[in-house]
Structure 1
Amino acid sequence: MNRTAPLKARNAENEHFEEKSWSIKMKGLTRRQTGPGVVFLLCVVSMVSHMRQEKLKFTFMNLGSSFEVGHGNEHNSLTHLTYQETTQLVADRLRSSTPSLGWRSSAASRNPEWSPPPERTNGYLLVRCNGGLNQQRGAICNAVLAARIMNATLVLPALDTNSFWHDKSGFSGIYDVRHFITSLANDVKVVTTLPLVGVVYKQHRRIKPFQLRPPRNALPNWYETVALAKMKEHGAILLSPFSHRLAEELDNLDYQRLRCRVNYHALRFREDVMSLSSKIVARLRAEGQFLAIHLRFEMDMLAFAGCTDIFTVAEQAMLVKYRMENFAEKTLHYTDRRLIGKCPLTPEEVGLILRALGYDNSTHIYIAAGIFGGTARCNNICIYVYVYVHIFFQRRHIWR
């Protein structure tokens, strides 16, 4: 008996059923896709028709070409804007002020429950700020907050004199001390020096502070326990170094407001500093519109970040040596650091960004500090002519 015949017949029937089912599915799919396709086509036709009615014409061409715009029948001629003019509009927009959109500063106002400092504090707090001027300014803000956390009297912070600028002005030579003290009267007590405790061998003697090295990004709990205990024991403590020694993200919003209040309200430059800065800005503006850029493309920053692979062998050796002498030992990989944004932009990259924003080669650019690697880092970009490095000393044509 032949048993394969019924099996073949059944298989043929199944194949026919599958073909029929597949055909039905394809037809359904076609119907489902046809609807959106028709709608999309109608939208495109409508858009093209609208553009023709408005006589809106855009022509995008290479640098130096034209960008043309025409509107309506009431304008017989097209408005002609060159590439430089359109990019200049972008640059002008960046220079102009933007509306507040309802946002307002909350740093100046204090919480009604924010109590003024008590008459008697737990001791004196001294800090030695380090790093560049910007880092030291942040350290001053943290010092005020640390004094508030510990209910301490803050002595005017000592500023670093061994940084790049070798500026020995000190706090009182840069900031308005009286304004600093009075504006923070409802937050912390501030004094200019430690108090006298007696006379030894006809010389006035002051409290000797106990020196502590706070951990990096320390939480308020460290100040409330470890630091406060030493302050009560010795009467005064000196925290050094004090760059990034208090956590940036804090849950207490009043603490954050206090830091902002110090930065934007209490820290005000002296009158002579403001007068000199006004004269400098006036001279800069005399050359036309300008940009001031702090590239941070310098030896200390590059060595700290571990960004060495893009330099010559000799330059890499200099960066590695500088890092070993000034920073903690740590294995850093350039590619990984750059991918996560830990390396500063190169001068070439900054130039391309400025060009994309609309700043043409007539823009006067003033660079703070210097550029590690010299002009060789900028020879491959043909954009900017007027670049000034160390504006008081020399003028260099770096980006040709």
Structure 2
Amino acid sequence: MFMRTIRITKMSLDELWRSADSVGWRPSSAPRSDWPPPPSETNGYLRVRCNGGLNQQRTAICNAVLAARIMNATLVLPELDANSFWHDDSGFRGIYDVEHFMKSLRYDVKIVEKIPEIRKNGKTKKIKAVQLRPPRDAPISWYTTDALVKMKEHGAIYLTPFSHRLAEEIDNPEYQRLRCRVNYHALRFKTNIMKLSQSIVDKLRAQGHFMSIHLRFEMDMLAFAGCFDIFNSKEQEILKKYRKENFAPKKLVYKERRAIGKCPLTPEEVGLILRAMGFNNSTRIYLAAGDLFGGERFMKPFRALFPHLENHSSVDPSDELAENTQGLSGSAVDYMT
């Protein structure tokens, strides 16, 4: 019976490492033949400030392109809010291939790197974008009414913050395809980031199977979720202060949020789930970089479950990698790995 269990577990583990079958699903990002190009004249300029982590920023960029399409606006290259958490001011051009982004979307929206100056009565004039705060998960109607009116009035609008500011559920397949085109085709990291991540993957694969995990047990995520009770009093003060400075006031009850899955899993809980799935303690895990809040106290149980841990520094300790994995660039390298 013991040997039979071993065989079943081994077969199950082998199955876990296989690529999932597509079961008939196909990519659907290509526009349909009747998708019209953007008009030669637009209603004005759209600026956005994308906040949050790398994934949130990518989602915001997808939404910004779609918002520009909906309003027939010229999109100004999205701004990445990296100073508050990443302490990185490299911006969009620092991690993404700007030329590829603009070329890939030329049949969808007009894109410029900055709002151009205009000449009127022999004088050069700057267009000042009026600032608006979009509602969370705003419907298309908000963009075609409130936002568009301001754009036509002032010539440009600046939407900030711009995380989760356009409804996910939109009953228009072409709009959803546009989101996919942005995320899977237009948003390409710069060459140095792609090369570094591929080098890391090659070195990891040379030693066999591995999985990549971003534990995301970090200060901004925990503060946003309002999940404080598992921390000591000093740590709770830090989280509450960060939340007050960065997020809207809201009464959050830890036990209620935890019960409905709104609290990030602790590293130990992630490890227990992986073990329950069939991954054993010989599994090699690549950990995406991030400052684990609470430190070793929370990491120790995870390391006991999975002792073979790697990160980009341990895989490639070279000076070149260290120089190119700071701030958002490091997050981008981990994203591709």
- Report TM bin, short chain: 0.7 to 0.9
Match of 1:281 in 2: 201
Match of 1:171 among 92, 95, 99: 92
Provide the secondary structure at the position in 2 that maps to 1:362.
Answer: coil
**Bigger radius of gyration among the two:** 1
Aligned to 1:182: 103
2:251 is equivalent to residue 331 of structure 1: yes
Partner residue in 1 for 2:3: 67
Q: Are the counterparts in 2 of residues 218 and 246 from structure 1 also a CA contact under 8 Å?
A: yes
Q: Is the 8 A contact 2:204 2:315 kept in 1?
A: no
Structure 2 residue 26 is matched with structure 1 residue 121: no
* 1:92 corresponding residue in structure 2: 14
Could you tell me the percent identity over the aligned residues?
Answer: 62
Structure 1 gaps of 5+ residues are 1-58, 60-65, 69-81, 396-400
CA contact (8 A) 2:283 2:306 kept: yes
* SS of the residue 1:128 aligns to: strand
Structure 1 residue 380: deviation in Å? 4.6
User: Does structure 1 conserve the Cα–Cα contact (< 8 Å) formed by 2:267 and 2:301?
Assistant: no
The code of the aligned residue for 2:3 comes to: F
Partner letter of residue 94 of structure 1?
A: L
How far does residue 199 in structure 1 lie from its aligned partner after superposition? Answer: 9.8
Matches within 5 A, 1:14-29: none
Quick one: structure 1 residues 165 and 88, their matched pair in 2 at CA, closer, same or farther if it must change by over 3 Å?
farther
Alpha carbons 2:200, 2:312 under 8 Å: kept: no
TM-score (norm 2): 0.85
Q: Contact 1:125 / 1:154 at 8 angstroms: preserved in 2?
A: yes
Q: Is the 8 A contact 2:95 2:189 kept in 1?
A: yes
**Which of 254, 264, 273 in structure 2 is aligned with 1:353?**
273
Moved more, 300-309 or 171-180: 171-180
1:302 and 2:238 matched? no
Distance (whole Å) between structure 1 residues aligned to residue 149 and residue 309 of structure 2: 53
Q: CA deviation at 1:361?
A: 1.6
Alpha-carbon separation, structure 1, partners of 2:89 and 2:35 = 36
1:231 equivalent to 2:147? Answer no
Paired amino acid for 2:29:
A
Deviation string 1:211-253 (CA, Å, 9 cap, x unpaired) is 2111111111111111111111111111111111111111122
- Aligned residue in 1 for 2:285: 365
Equivalent AA in structure 1 for residue 155 of structure 2: G
Rate the CA distance shift 1:281–1:206 in 2: closer, same or farther, 3 A: farther
After TM superposition, give the deviation of residue 334 of structure 1 in Å: 1.0
Distance 1:184 1:194 in 2: 18
User: Could you say if the C-alpha distance between residues 241 and 265 of structure 1 is closer, same or farther in structure 2, counting changes exceeding 3 Å?
Assistant: same
The CA deviation string for residues 324-364 of structure 1, in whole angstroms up to 9 with x for no partner, is: 22222211111110111101111111111111222222222
RCO comparison, higher one (Cα < 8 Å, 6+): 2
- Mapped to 2, the partners of 1:394 and 1:95 lie a distance apart of 21
Amino acid in the other structure paired with 2:100 = H
The secondary structure found in structure 1 opposite 2:50 is coil
Contact 1:131–1:163 (8 Å) recurs in 2:
no
Q: What does residue 111 of structure 1 align with?
A: 32
Distance in 2 of aligned mates of 1:95 and 1:160 = 36
Identify the residue that residue 385 of structure 1 maps to in structure 2.
307
- C-alpha contact 2:60 2:163 (8 A) present in aligned 1: yes
Contact 2:42 2:73 in 1 (8 A): yes
Q: What's 2:329 paired with?
A: none
Q: Distance in 1 between matches of 2:308 and 2:159?
A: 44
Give the aligned partner of residue 322 of structure 2.
Answer: none
Which shows bigger deviation, 279-288 or 210-219? Answer: 279-288
SS in 1 for 2:33: coil
Contact 2:203–2:315 (CA under 8 A) maintained in structure 1: no
Which residue matches 1:150? 71
Flag structure 2 segments of 5+ consecutive residues without an equivalent.
317-337
- Alignment partner of 2:118: what SS? strand
- The aligned counterpart of 1:53 is none
1:137 maps to 2:58: yes
- Residue aligned with 2:79, SS: coil
Runs of 4+ with deviation above 6 angstroms? none
- Among residues 228, 236, 245, which one is paired with 1:316 in the alignment? 236
Match in the other structure for 1:343: 263
Give the total of aligned pairs: 314
Work out whether residues 287 and 364 of structure 1, in 8 Å CA contact, stay in contact via their aligned partners in 2. no
